[in-house]
């Protein structure tokens, strides 16, 4: 196996490289940041540049594209759509190509923006919400599907919700400027917020919000399986925790184990349950993280002085 990874310097990319290093040849297509990892070949260029993609794809057997953008309209179509198009074009024409594994997202099926009265399975129709990020996730999945139909491209889509690593979950609950991602909790409540408080998010019906997550190590394990599992071909899989995170469970656990105060936060979002039964049944994959492990690992994690937290939403 000779694996090409784009976005290899990101959260998922680095974890995937570490998981597979020593088991196969790995090549990284790097743009703004370099990947200095022993045994990993780096090719430099933009994913939107066909010549750079062609050089990166030379002799490659497997592809995992992880380069992405968030709500950045000036960049997202070049990276998520044009870049994916060039990768798919090179893959279908390559004499060495064997398999393509796309990491989709629950943004493609509406995330918690739309009401889903039953668990969300892989048959849910695409339902992008406002903004360019959700649209890009829909376009990625549809493009891959059409290459499967038109060219018989050997590929798999792993649809993931919000991906957590290290202390991410802790800072996803912050009322301060160090908030990771969203929602912006402080803007949704009036009055003072106690130090160390965590949000008890309420959904649009006033009940504790349920939201889907996956830990990066569980996602990376699913990728490793999908790279050569025969049952993965031509399939889309929800890759997530067995149950969504219930914010009532979160605040109860943190109040009990760490004495943290709780602030109720009303939102307009809807509770959702992303169903991972298909991945467990066909791939034999099972997530190791549940809600309490996600919480405890995030609160117990301590960063070293040379590993400061960067307050931005990483790809």
Say how far apart CA 223 and CA 241 lie, in whole Å.
Answer: 15
- What is this structure's pTM? 0.96
Confidence bin at 193 (pLDDT 50/70/90) = very high
Return the closest-CA partner of residue 249 out of 213, 201, 180.
Answer: 201
Say how far apart CA 262 and CA 41 lie, in whole Å.
Answer: 48
pLDDT at 154: 98
User: Stretch 294-311: mean pLDDT, rounded?
Assistant: 89
pLDDT at 314: 39
Q: Say how many residues make up the chain.
A: 315
Confidence bin at 33 (pLDDT 50/70/90) = confident
pLDDT at 315: 36
Flag whether pLDDT at 64 surpasses 80: yes
**Superfamily for the 2-163+212-240+272-287 domain:** NAD(P)-binding Rossmann-like Domain (3.40.50.720)
User: Stretch 237-249: mean pLDDT, rounded?
Assistant: 98
Flag whether pLDDT at 292 surpasses 90: yes
pLDDT tens digit sequence for 167-189 = 999 999 999 999 998 899 999 99
pLDDT at 152: 98
Flag whether pLDDT at 277 surpasses 60: yes
DSSP structural state of residue 243: S
Confidence bin at 150 (pLDDT 50/70/90) = very high
Burial 87-123 (b: 16+ CB within 10 A, else e): bbbbbeebeebebbbbbbbbbbbbbbbeebeeebebe
pLDDT at 271: 98
Confidence bin at 306 (pLDDT 50/70/90) = confident
**Percentage of the chain surpassing pLDDT 70?**
98
User: Interhelix angle for 83-93 vs 132-151, to 10°?
Assistant: 10
pLDDT at 182: 83
pLDDT tens digit sequence for 67-108 = 988 888 888 999 999 999 999 999 999 999 999 999 999 999
Residue 210 · residue 272 · CB < 8 Å: yes
User: Interhelix angle for 291-300 vs 247-258, to 10°?
Assistant: 50
Flag whether pLDDT at 313 surpasses 90: no
DSSP structural state of residue 169: H
Domain ranges of the chain: 2-163+212-240+272-287
pLDDT at 312: 53
């Amino acid at each position: 196996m000779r694996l090409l990874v784009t976005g290899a310097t990101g959260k998922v990319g680095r974890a995937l490289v570490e998981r597979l290093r020593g088991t196969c040849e790995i090549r990284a297509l790097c743009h703004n940041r370099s990947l200095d990892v022993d045994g990993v070949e780096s090719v430099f260029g933009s994913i939107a540049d066909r010549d750079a993609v062609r050089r990166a794809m030379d002799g490659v057997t497997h592809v995992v594209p992880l380069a992405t953008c968030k709500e950045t309209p000036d960049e997202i179509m070049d990276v998520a759509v044009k870049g994916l198009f060039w990768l798919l074009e090179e893959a279908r024409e390559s004499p060495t190509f064997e398999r393509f594994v796309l990491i989709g997202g629950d943004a493609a099926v509406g995330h918690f923006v739309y009401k889903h009265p039953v668990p969300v399975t892989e048959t849910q129709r695409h339902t992008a919400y406002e903004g360019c990020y959700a649209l890009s996730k829909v376009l990625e999945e549809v493009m891959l599907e059409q290459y499967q139909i038109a060219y018989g491209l050997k590929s798999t889509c792993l649809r993931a919700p919000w991906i957590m690593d290290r202390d991410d979950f802790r800072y996803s609950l912050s009322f301060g400027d160090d908030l990771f991602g969203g929602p912006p909790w402080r803007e949704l409540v009036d009055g003072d917020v106690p130090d160390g408080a965590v949000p008890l998010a309420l959904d649009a019906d006033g009940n504790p919000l349920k939201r889907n997550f996956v830990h990066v190590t569980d996602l990376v394990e699913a990728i490793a399986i999908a790279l050569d599992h025969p049952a993965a071909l031509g399939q889309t899989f929800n890759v997530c925790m067995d149950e969504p995170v219930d914010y009532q469970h979160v605040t109860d656990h943190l109040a009990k184990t760490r004495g943290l105060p709780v602030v109720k936060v009303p939102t307009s979002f809807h509770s959702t349950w992303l169903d991972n039964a298909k991945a467990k049944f066909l791939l034999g994959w099972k997530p190791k993280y549940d809600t309490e492990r996600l919480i405890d690992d995030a609160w117990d994690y301590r960063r070293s002085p040379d590993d400061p937290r960067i307050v931005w939403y990483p790809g």
